[in-house]
Amino acid sequence: MRQVQVNLAYQRYIGYDLDEIVPDHSAISRNRSLFGKELFQELFDHVVKLCIQAGLVAGVHQSVDLTMVHANASMDSLVPREVTTSPSGFVDQVFEENPVEPGTAMADVIPLTKQESDLTEPDPRQRVLEMEQPPPSSGTGPASSPSDVVVLSAVPGVSRKPSPGRTSNQLYYSRTDPDAAVMSSRDKPAMLAYAVHASVDSRANVIALEATNATVDDPIPVPAMLQHLREKLRLLVATVAADKRYGRGWFYERLALTGIRAYIPHRDYGDVHKGFWGFSYFQYHPKEDVYTCPDGKKLEMKGV
């Protein structure tokens, strides 16, 4: 909106006269909150459908790429994440998510004698509850109470102020824009930004769909994008091209299961100088459909 206010070419493009007042940028934020994501998605799809009717979109081949959009937040706004869970609550959550099936516990397999049962460890949840009990009052003041909040800054190695170049999205977040993530590239310093995945049709370079997430190295939104193009816009989407950032095993598999051929280079996870053998060191044998390692041994297929 700032560009529209100072650039006459933009004002002419959207149909504003020279003496007409351009809306404030807050109007877009209010409309986005008022109408929701669904309406804007319908408007975007309608524009793409018009491009399809005009013959600008073929829908056969899509090129997917990612760009970083700078968030309106400073790196100084980063603060340590806080886990608002008590130790006993965390232990209960672990037991609920990882239940012990009947017959797998040692006590269910071999009955314990009375002497052995006296030596067995108590329930870990009970030990946590005992640790959380406040100590007896000394008479000089109120008894202390257990804390329900674990602050990461109290953990050794996690400072209140993040170090430049060593900021982890798992440990820190922006208090002014919690949805943004710390990202960097070769030609840009670390900054708070969003990752925007764009699917571009090959005929006239029309952006068919965009998706945003806060992880620059994660193609998770892309399969849903391609499914939307097929189901909502009725496009064929037979092939997809992308850079090696999208070269993940699960992503290749997802495209293959949906009948989409991928033109994506494999990721090189390292070379021999870093302690890892790179992809180029392994030789593929089409007749046997196997790879051999630099030592000449065959690698069996375990899955993708």
Mean pLDDT of 52-56: 92
> Considering the entire predicted model, what is its pTM?
0.58
- The pLDDT value given to residue 254: 92
What pLDDT shows up at residue 141?
A: 39
CA distances from 206 to 14, 41, 194, 219, 222 (A): 19, 16, 21, 20, 17
Q: Of 27-41, 122-136, 138-152, 260-274, where does the model show the most confidence? A: 27-41
Question: Measured between alpha carbons, how far is residue 56 from residues 12, 174, 232, 240 in Å?
Answer: 24, 41, 17, 18
Give the mean pLDDT of 11-17.
87
Residue with tokens 């091209």: 241
Mean pLDDT estimate for the chain: 75
Domain boundaries, the chain: 1-54, 60-73+177-267, 77-102+146-176, 269-304
60, 238 Cβ separation under 8 angstroms: yes
pLDDT-based confidence at residue 94 (cuts at 50, 70, 90)? confident
**What's the rounded Cα separation, in Å, for the pair 200 and 61?**
9
Residue 274 corresponds to which tokens in the numbers above?
A: 């870093």
290 pairs with which residues across the strands? 285
CB 288 within 8 A of CB 277: no
Token pair recorded at residue 227? 């499914």
The pLDDT score that the predictor gives to residue 214 is 63
Give 118 or 198, the one with higher predicted confidence: 198
Q: How far apart are CA 194 and CA 173, in angstroms?
A: 13
Beta-carbon contacts of 137 under 8 Å, excluding residues fewer than 6 positions away, are 143
Q: CATH code for 60-73+177-267? A: 3.30.420.10
What's the rounded Cα separation, in Å, for the pair 76 and 167? 12
* Contact present, 202 and 209 (Cβ < 8 Å): no
pLDDT at position 256 is 93
pLDDT of residue 146 exceeding 50 = no
Amino acid identity at 294: P
* Whole-number percent of the chain with pLDDT over 70: 69
How far is Cα 194 from Cα 188, in angstroms, rounded to an integer?
14
pLDDT for 213 beyond 50: yes
Q: What is the pLDDT of residues 179-210, one digit of tens each?
A: 888 887 777 788 888 888 889 999 998 988 77
- The pLDDT of residue 160 is 52
Q: Which two tokens stand for residue 75?
A: 């790196």
